[in-house]
Structure 1
């Protein structure tokens, strides 16, 4: 039950969103026991964002929420894959991207909790 929420300060076309969906779906498999089958994604484009004192060039904030835990090594691999995907698809430098992780103890779905 992971979710990845991505905010960027540039537009995302439907084609780019689909490419990111595919790449993020593959990347989540870097975390043991996780797959695209349970992955929820959100993309917010054209956000007003400031980083390092300016609002350009392109910038991204990625929030990854995970039911359970993963190792620091696994998170390192996922950060690399996510930032590489954003660079390939949207041209956002990894140096202009933050990735935040949150391990969640309780996760609800279908009227109850896991």
Structure 2
């Protein structure tokens, strides 16, 4: 039950969102037991993002929420691949991209009227 929220400073076209969403569906498999089948992806584009006191023309924050725990190695690999993806697709450099992870126990994630 992963959820990925991709926040970008620039507006994205529907085509860019679709390509990024498709790529995230493949990248989520870095985490054992995770797949596109259960992946939620959200976009908040055109946001005002500031880093070091300066408005970012090209910046991104990717928030990843996972049911269960993931190893540091998996998170590191995912971070590298997401930075590459955003650089390739929308020209956001890795040094302008943050990736954060939140891990939830089954009792803290609900779906379909109940908790996992």
- 5+ residue gaps, structure 2, are none
Counting matched residue pairs gives 114
Aligned counterpart for 2:112 among listed residues 107, 110, 113: 110
**1:70: which partner in 2?**
70
Partner of 2:52: 52
Residues of 2 paired with 1:91 and 1:53: CA distance?
A: 21
The CA deviation at 1:2 is 0.4
RMSD: 0.7
What is the distance in 2 between the residues matched to 1:9 and 1:21? 17
Counterpart-to-counterpart distance in 1, 2:52 and 2:28: 28
Query: 3-state DSSP class of the match of 2:6?
Result: strand
> Which residue number corresponds to residue 19 of structure 1?
19
2:93 matches 1:93: yes
**Residue 107 of structure 1, CA deviation:** 1.1
Structure 1 runs, 4 residues or longer, greater than 3 Å off: none
Q: TM-score, normalised by structure 1?
A: 0.97
What SS is found at the alignment partner of 2:32? coil
TM-score normalised to structure 2 length: 0.95
Point out where structure 1 has 5 or more consecutive residues left out of the alignment.
Answer: none
SS of residue matched to 1:4: strand
